[in-house]
Amino acid sequence: MTAVVTPACAQQSFDNLAGSWSGVGSMKPKDGPPERVRCKVDYVVKSEGQSVKMDVRCASDAYKMELNANIDQNGSELSGNWFESQYRIGGKVSGQNANGFIDARIEGDKITALLAVRTKGNRQSFSMESPGAWVSQVSIDLLRDRR
């Protein structure tokens, strides 16, 4: 049995996200019960893994969300911008990427949300919490699409 040890100072990257992911989960509207949602997430990784363009498309019977983000990384620090086209809102992204765990904060004029993306192999969990927003909670389990 061989153990692989990754140095703590290893450069983090978005390489483990590259490609398309699909899955299901729930979306909790501010004024209603959670709804089942289907999602597709595409990640295009650039700049030797230090930049990612993320497209998230989710739909339930009553709601649709189309979120795009461009995120850059310096060490483990994240910065960038996002835009949701159905509701025409956008803002800034900040956070951390470490060991397959992305913890980010998205902020705009009308919304502040905490976003957590956990990736392990071909599985990913995507959750967002935004108390008081039109969608207060999103939780999705994704699988990497076969190429």
pLDDT number for residue 104: 94
More confident residue, 8 or 124: 124
pLDDT of 1 > 80? The answer is no
pLDDT number for residue 13: 86
More confident residue, 11 or 95: 95
Burial class (CB in 10 A: 0-12, 13-18, 19+), 131: exposed
Rounded Cα distance, 91 and 133, in Å: 14
pLDDT of 28 > 90? The answer is no
Q: How many CB atoms lie within 10 A of CB 23?
A: 20
Tens digits of per-residue pLDDT, 35-90? 999 999 999 999 998 999 999 999 988 888 898 999 999 999 999 999 989 888 89
Q: Which two tokens stand for residue 119?
A: 């990736």
pLDDT of 127 > 70? The answer is yes
Cross-strand pairs, 112? 107
